[in-house]
Structure 1
Amino acid sequence: MGGYENGDSPAAVAGEDGVVLGVDGGTTNTVCVCLPAAMPPPESPAAVPILARAVAGCSNRNSVGESTALETLEQVMTQALTMANTDRSAVRAVCLAVSGVNHPSDQQRMLEWIGSLFPGNAKFYVENDAVAALASGTMGKLHGCVLIAGTGSIAYGVTEDGKVARAAGAGPVLGDWGSGYGIAAQALTAVIKAHDGRGPQTSLTGDILEKLELSSPDEIIGWTYADPSWARIAALVPVVVSSAEDGDEVANKILHDSVQELADTVIAVVRRLRLCGEDEKDKFPLVLVGGVLEGNKKWDISGEVIKCISKVFPGTVPIWPEVCMFVTMPF
């Protein structure tokens, strides 16, 4: 849920009541905001008095390893506190919403680690980033479904009585199809297959070679495995979208298949929780987050996903958050 730069925050001053930290940890980047602990409930996202905002790299432990992920989290929190002219002793609460936190044991390890960094009277919350993404679209109310499609993908839902369900979010090896990584990996595979004569010719070949400044599809193999980080691969999504907009059949098939994968991910969660009611016609909020779902002009991925879901659940109410999770999570 990026798009931020360090220091990009409105003027505000930390008070004697201390501060709270909210961290949105993703596979592409990690964002931390520092907020006054005495802040009243905001009437709108624009009313939140952000003291400081800091940005760092990937903090998904499944992508970069636990040690590097924790280093990134500590770095971004320290940076936010420094920018707010305060320190760890002023922290009253920390909310970590991090991709890759998939099991209670993951939460417990993170809670023990974060507790070693800050005062003993501080409150700590650790969740998967999908929980925070849902809250970001509902101003803190955990009800409905969220679809994240960035470097990875996940659908996460919560009923009004607290039942939860998720689908996907298992990483590229186990199939985050429809994610940025999934789209780009299929495009790279299509280029190799076309080069081998095992697949149709595609303009993706020339477009990707130009983007990567390579001269032959043979070089793609070395480029891919030189640094197979998920975000690096996923960064090729705009090339795939551009090729599809120019009419390439292979690129269009990749995007259509990805749309269906994302829609099926949401449908699975909504059905499991019966968010749509017994007759599958009740209204429910669907929060959409992530770079794959954002603003393509001609090839509107999020629009196509919503069409697929709405055919099954006509009560789908799509929401695009105005603000990232850390403003709306209940500290």
Structure 2
Amino acid sequence: MNNYGESNGDSNVHEKQVEGHDHCENGDGSDNRVILGIDGGTTSTVCVCIPLFSSSKSLPNPPPILGRAVSGCSNHNSVGVTVHVSYPTETAARDTLEEVMAEALSKSGSDWSAVHAVCLGVSGVNHPTDQERILNWLREIFPSHVKLYVQNDAVAALASGTMGKLHGCVLIAGTGCISYGFAEDGREARASGAGPVLGDWGSGYGIAAKALTAVIRAHDGRGPQTMLTNKILKALSLSSPDELIGWTYADPSWARIAALVPEVVSCAEACDQVATKILVNAVQDLALSVKAVVQRLHLCGEDGNGSFPVVMVGGVLEANRTWDIGKEVMKCIQEQFPGAHPIRQQVEPAVGAALLAWNFLMKESTENSHS
């Protein structure tokens, strides 16, 4: 098995226990088995290790984190652009996942043999074939008794606001964007999340790309003059819009472009019409993606006024500026669906993934006891 990107002849590499970690029962009757929750996005991958709580106990809020680790991008659709460029894309993504799990386990004082369940919320999981590919990676790492769950990272983000319950809608707007929802009967739907080429224009990348385009159009006479020109050039230490072309294509990674969003917001706050129009359009795009999911799942009820949560996740939606994109998005959603109520993350998405795994385990245990 390819372990941490290198050939490893030791087939028992995951059997070795961390010194001093004893897998015996605790005084409360539970053992030292653990759950791994992973949030793998286009910018970073986070893994947390939490205890496997007994089904007879309610989950503490927040659950204790035994170990936490952070690594690079694990989206197999984008990782090859910026990470391990000499590797095949899937190899880079797999190595990232293995490394971050190993580090979280090590920090928790545990090891691979203690793992009872793993839930990965990974961006780029857009089709059952994506899920199966990642499950195959995990099956090579873990023995057959370990429960394995693979979801889009939006599902973990939803769980981070609902503490593991899959009901309602999540809107993620960071480097990329996606809206994902679950009805109480288990039906699910998504909108956006197809990447920048296919038009995730409400995302950080989309906002910044439109701002860069506006600067170039203003420079060559195809568009109105805008404060964005000086603001972006100063932020990038460039002297002319002509230099933007080289800067952009030298490294067109999504996160690098998306990092310019604060400059767009600053210009909008200063009443620049071009920047304001970019943000207004982003608000409409983000709200539309949520509305599409709500309508397909009938989250609003038959009368259109039913209550449901909208978990707001991502730097674009953070309420720390006068021009509050998240607030404007919710206002737009509530005009059509007054029962929508925004909630912020209660825990980080990696913990949400771990809570999902625990809830899946409890559901399976209940179903087995009734069969």
Q: What TM-score range do you get, normalising by the shorter chain?
A: over 0.9
Query: Is 2:140 the partner of 1:116?
Result: yes
Spell out, residue by residue over 1:109-165, the C-alpha distance to the aligned partner (whole angstroms, 9 max, x if none).
100101111233211110001111111111211111111111111111111111111
In the alignment, what sits opposite 1:193? 217
Question: Could you tell me which of 112, 134, 139 is aligned with 2:163?
Answer: 139
Q: Distance in 1 between matches of 2:220 and 2:214?
A: 10
In the alignment, what sits opposite 2:52? 37
Q: Distance in 1 between matches of 2:337 and 2:23?
A: 47
In the alignment, what sits opposite 1:165? 189
In the alignment, what sits opposite 2:346? 322
Kept in 1, the 8 Å contact 2:36–2:119? The answer is: yes
Q: Distance in 2 between matches of 1:114 and 1:189?
A: 42
The aligned amino acid for 1:330 is: A
Q: Distance in 1 between matches of 2:201 and 2:138?
A: 32
Q: Distance in 2 between matches of 1:58 and 1:164?
A: 26
Deviation for aligned residue 1:42: 2.5
The aligned amino acid for 1:219 is: E
Gaps of 5+ in 2: 1-20, 25-31, 80-88, 359-371
Give the 3-state SS of the residue equivalent to 1:167 in structure 2.
Answer: strand
Give the 3-state SS of the residue equivalent to 1:131 in structure 2.
Answer: helix
More displaced 10-residue stretch of structure 1: 65-74 or 92-101: 65-74
Kept in 1, the 8 Å contact 2:37–2:357? The answer is: no
Deviation for aligned residue 1:78: 1.4
The aligned amino acid for 1:258 is: A
The aligned amino acid for 1:101 is: V
Kept in 1, the 8 Å contact 2:330–2:342? The answer is: yes
Map 1:229-240 → 2, pairs under 5 A: 229-240=253-264
In the alignment, what sits opposite 1:24? 39
Q: Distance in 2 between matches of 1:149 and 1:296?
A: 15
Q: Distance in 2 between matches of 1:174 and 1:297?
A: 29
More displaced 10-residue stretch of structure 1: 57-66 or 222-231: 57-66
Give the 3-state SS of the residue equivalent to 2:68 in structure 1.
Answer: strand
In the alignment, what sits opposite 1:85? 109
Deviation for aligned residue 1:14: 8.2
Map 1:266-285 → 2, pairs under 5 A: 266-285=290-309
Spell out, residue by residue over 1:243-267, the C-alpha distance to the aligned partner (whole angstroms, 9 max, x if none).
1112211111110100000001111
Deviation for aligned residue 1:279: 2.1
Deviation for aligned residue 1:235: 1.0
Q: Distance in 2 between matches of 1:300 and 1:98?
A: 28
Q: Mark the CA change 1:15 to 1:202 in structure 2 (over 3 Å): closer, same or farther.
A: farther
Give the 3-state SS of the residue equivalent to 1:209 in structure 2.
Answer: helix
Percent identical pairs in the alignment equals 66
Give the RMSD, CA atoms, in angstroms: 1.5
Spell out, residue by residue over 1:166-216, the C-alpha distance to the aligned partner (whole angstroms, 9 max, x if none).
100100000111001100100111111111111111111111111111111
- The number of aligned residues is 317
Deviation for aligned residue 1:295: 2.3
Spell out, residue by residue over 1:10-54, the C-alpha distance to the aligned partner (whole angstroms, 9 max, x if none).
xxx885422221100111111111112246542422xx1111111
Kept in 2, the 8 Å contact 1:26–1:58? The answer is: yes
Q: Mark the CA change 1:15 to 1:50 in structure 2 (over 3 Å): closer, same or farther.
A: farther
Kept in 1, the 8 Å contact 2:40–2:120? The answer is: yes
Question: Could you tell me which of 212, 227, 234 is aligned with 1:210?
Answer: 234
Give the 3-state SS of the residue equivalent to 1:255 in structure 2.
Answer: helix
Q: Distance in 2 between matches of 1:128 and 1:190?
A: 33
Kept in 2, the 8 Å contact 1:194–1:202? The answer is: yes
State the TM-score, normalized to the length of structure 1: 0.92
Kept in 1, the 8 Å contact 2:310–2:343? The answer is: yes
Deviation for aligned residue 1:321: 1.2
Q: Mark the CA change 1:91 to 1:330 in structure 2 (over 3 Å): closer, same or farther.
A: closer
Kept in 1, the 8 Å contact 2:23–2:114? The answer is: no
Structure index of larger Rg: 2
Kept in 1, the 8 Å contact 2:36–2:50? The answer is: yes
Structure 1 ranges of 4+ moved more than 6 A: none
Kept in 2, the 8 Å contact 1:88–1:119? The answer is: no
In the alignment, what sits opposite 2:310? 286
Q: Distance in 1 between matches of 2:151 and 2:58?
A: 21
Spell out, residue by residue over 1:302-328, the C-alpha distance to the aligned partner (whole angstroms, 9 max, x if none).
100000000000111111112123333
